[in-house]
Amino acid sequence: MRAGSSVKNAFSALAWLSFYVLFCIAPLLLALGHPSSTGRSFLIDFSVALGFVGLSMLAFQFVLIARFKVVAAPFGIDALLKFHIQITFVGLIFVVAHPVLLFIADAQYLALLNPVTALWRARFAVLSVLALLVLIGLSVWRKRLRLRYEVWKLTHGLIAVAVVLFGLLHASLVGYFVTGTLRHLLFEGYIGILIFLLVWVRLISPLMRLRRPWRVVEVKPERGNATTLVIAPVGHDGFRFKPGQFGWIAIGRSPFSITQHPFSFSSAADTQPGGSISMTIKVAGDFTETISRVEAGTRVYVDGPHGVFSMDQRQGPGYVLVAGGVGVTPMYSMLLTMLVREDVRPVTLFYASATWEDVVLREELEQLSDRMPNFNLIHVIGTPPPDWDGEVGRISVEMLERRLPAQYRRYEFLICGSTPMMDAMEEALAQVGVPYSQVSSERFDMI
């Protein structure tokens, strides 16, 4: 990333953060000086304020997951999704603090919890909070509940709409701070944004992809239960991407389908107009299990490129890549791109695999290593074959100290693998003195 574009990114990140804060406190700003707040205790006004901020935060969640490139550009869609998850808990605290403070201010408010006698404005509030709790519970315990990803995704969207809608109905019917024009502005404005986002995500964005189809041109079996799909644009120029970026794909189904799956591009970036791109996909569940049976000619829709996990985002005098299993795919794209660009900066890849036979893209990496004198390939095998004389077990602090290049503290580090490996690596790199700011990571199970 050049200095100019990093300054631009910093500015647009700051602009979006300011907009975010403004959006969340917008109802309060609108209410400033509004006469309806007179006559109530500070605690009640404060609790209402918290409720408004919580509701705005939850409403903004739809913007975060709408995959707007302009919003994602300075942060990366992966970071936005992480923020989306974490900020839900903050929103929950605000939303729950609102009734708790009300009850503290005046115990009579407890009667609002009685669904039989309470007015609809109170029922909507209870429904909104309950829906939010269900939404969070299903997300946190999805795997334990054995909920299929597709089912979770559909219910997640529907419940999220219910949370915000019930919350808005409650705020509008109660009318604290917001009455008359203000109430209309707030209620209709938020509803308008919600509808626009739903139309964007479910209609406009898929329509745009429908007009830019791709087709499978090659299906290549790989080691480690993986398959490389090569896809080419049909009737358009395709796109260029940064090495390490990913796209959401829908194969053999319409771009309107609820679920698309994210995969890193495993081909060289800087594609020529009309050029094909590849993805190397390992079996992880019901969708990925079908990939090896995909036939040439099958239609594919790609939403991308997305993500900031790229060496182009992090310029350094050299690179250390750390991959586990299929986490090697973005690294392979970065290495191929370096070869194509004749980039001679030193690059080391620590690549952990369960067995030697499981090493995804093994031959391809060996070929790269032969062609790139600046590339140091270090395989780390969990259970190696009897004649193995390379690294064994897991990537450890001791191994890093022994095998890292002399200048490593000045290099950029990019890591991608399973969650336990990523956690261990982030800790290990800190222990060997790699500054946190020089470590970038991509989690394939971020959702």
**Residues making contact with ligand FAD (CB under 6 A):** 78, 149, 246, 259-264, 279-282, 284-288, 326, 329, 442, 444-447
Q: What is the smallest separation between the CB atom of 289 and ligand FAD, expressed in angstroms?
A: 6
Number of Cβ within a 10 Å radius of residue 405:
15
**Of 36 and 418, CB closest to ligand FAD:** 418
Q: What is the smallest separation between the CB atom of 435 and ligand FAD, expressed in angstroms?
A: 24
Residues 439, 414: Cα–Cα separation, whole Å: 6
**Of 387 and 445, CB closest to ligand FAD:** 445
**Of 260 and 348, CB closest to ligand FAD:** 260
Q: What is the smallest separation between the CB atom of 29 and ligand FAD, expressed in angstroms?
A: 36
Q: What is the smallest separation between the CB atom of 327 and ligand FAD, expressed in angstroms?
A: 8
Six token digits for residue 297: 């000619």
**Of 172 and 278, CB closest to ligand FAD:** 278
- Contact between 56 and 27 (Cβ < 8 Å): yes
Residues 158, 286: Cα–Cα separation, whole Å: 23
**Of 291 and 400, CB closest to ligand FAD:** 291
**Distance of alpha carbon 414 from the chain centroid:** 17
Number of Cβ within a 10 Å radius of residue 27:
23
Q: Which of 50, 44, 43 is nearest to 25 (CA)?
A: 50
Q: What is the smallest separation between the CB atom of 131 and ligand FAD, expressed in angstroms?
A: 23
Q: In what order do the strands lie in the sheet with 412-417?
A: 391-392, 375-381, 347-353, 319-324, 412-417, 439-443
**Of 27 and 325, CB closest to ligand FAD:** 325
Q: What is the smallest separation between the CB atom of 110 and ligand FAD, expressed in angstroms?
A: 40
**Of 83 and 109, CB closest to ligand FAD:** 83
Residue with nearest beta carbon to ligand FAD: 285
Q: What is the smallest separation between the CB atom of 428 and ligand FAD, expressed in angstroms?
A: 22
